[in-house]
Chains A and B, each alone.
Chain A
């Protein structure tokens, strides 16, 4: 995927992002890392088109992220599973497919099962989110994001609400998706996953992109800020 970020700023009450500028060409899997409040989640949400920059412009695959076509070419997974709790895992997917993509019932059902099985949830399809584990719910949410056949999947700290064992379970199922040929942009605190899965890393601090490059930069941090971060996060 190709990403350009041109002079992007974002302000809530304080400046969250300061005039970010970066161009990325032909990367498959981009990791955004940094401490909480560094602006990485905000940047991710902007790339997904969920939040408008106060100034500047972002494009993904040569499309402005605020275009409707961009919206329909992505899938997204959040910190919490964000499944619709009154619907079974299967219905969570079929509702999306039938209502927003105009896909007929039977095809939607087949797509739902295919994607749930891909995430080893074939036997959980008819359960409500409250009746499956946190890790299973998060995997179902990944299956839901996959089922719209997106070009890019955005993951916003998908394991933030999970314990270490479930974290491992969810992240290894993401790694298994590599074969699908999808692109990924993700925020995470799990550096081992960044090393395994990312082909580009962006380190952010206080609303600035401080360092970026291939995952090798994790082994040789140059700035004090990144050195400090790497010494604390393992």
Chain B
């Protein structure tokens, strides 16, 4: 090995250790900030106030994940359905998708959930608030899902389709061996981003008194007055899912990207 490549290697090594320290420092800063605000509360910060509520908060945490997962699956289906409709030759279908998308883009998630649970549901003699809330969440996320399907399919260039035609692949073969394997990889990162959006958005389900994380923390707070304790715990629990999710998404993109 030459002298030059040796110095180059130590330089890149040095850079990566430096980078590691920078990140540790940044994380440390934010942790210190949390400790700082916790200690500055008017009533002393006592994490012990959570005693007796750990099980119910953990239950809420699991329900947040469950409900987000259901919304993810549901909106993936409805999003794909709308994508197919937007590709249809029927102009009415396309118009329906466009109008629906504009309406949802203009609607706050909180309003979508409340409308579904208190206005739309009752109009159909349905009063099951948790189910209606999840439907509201699904309806809200659907156009975003439609979008990621649209860009995933668009990212396969026209010449690839021509190549498939020249070789004489049947339509079924095109989808099974060429289109779907590509689309899945392109779809995964934005799909996981949307999952993160759903998890965060599901906090709003507390307005219909569904026992997800936000709601169970609220119950604990109203009985023990441990507001800071409850909110910080809740915040940490959200971050425990969303940050690894986004890190994994980035890893997936690096590892599996096709470009």
Contact = CB atoms under 8 A, between A and B. Distances in A.
Given A74-B166, A84-B182, A100-B167, A95 B177 contact: yes
Contacts, number: 50
A213 B162 CA distance: 30
Contacts of A82: 157, 159-160, 162-163
A86 B182 contact: yes
A85 B182 contact: yes
B37 interface: no
B31 interface: no
Nearest to B174: A99
B185 interface: yes
Contacts of A72: 168
Given A82-B162, A84-B160, A130-B259, A100 B169 contact: yes
B162 A50 contact: yes
Contacts of B165: 50
B258 interface: yes
A148 interface: yes
Contacts of A79: 159
A148 B167 contact: yes
B166 A48 contact: yes
B181 interface: yes
Nearest to A141: B163
Interface in B165-189: 165-169, 173, 177-178, 181-182, 185
B36 to A, nearest CB: 46
Interface string B219-259: 00000000000000000000000000000000000000111
Contact of B259 (A48, A80, A85, A99): A85
Interface in A54-89: 68, 71-72, 74-76, 78-80, 82, 84-86
| Size bracket, chain B contacts | 10 to 19
A96 B169 CA distance: 8
B181 A78 contact: no
Nearest to A81: B159
A201 B160 CA distance: 28
Contact of A99 (B160, B163, B173, B185): B173
Given A84-B182, A86-B181, A75 B259 contact: no
A45 to B, nearest CB: 8
A107 to B, nearest CB: 17
Interface of B: 157, 159-160, 162-163, 165-169, 173, 177-178, 181-182, 185, 257-259
Interface of A: 45, 48, 50, 68, 71-72, 74-76, 78-80, 82, 84-86, 95-96, 99-100, 128, 130, 148
25 contacts: A50-B162, A50-B166, A68-B168, A76-B163, A76-B166, A78-B159, A78-B162, A78-B163, A79-B159, A80-B157, A82-B157, A82-B162, A82-B163, A84-B160, A84-B178, A84-B182, A85-B182, A85-B258, A86-B181, A86-B258, A95-B177, A96-B167, A99-B177, A100-B169, A128-B258
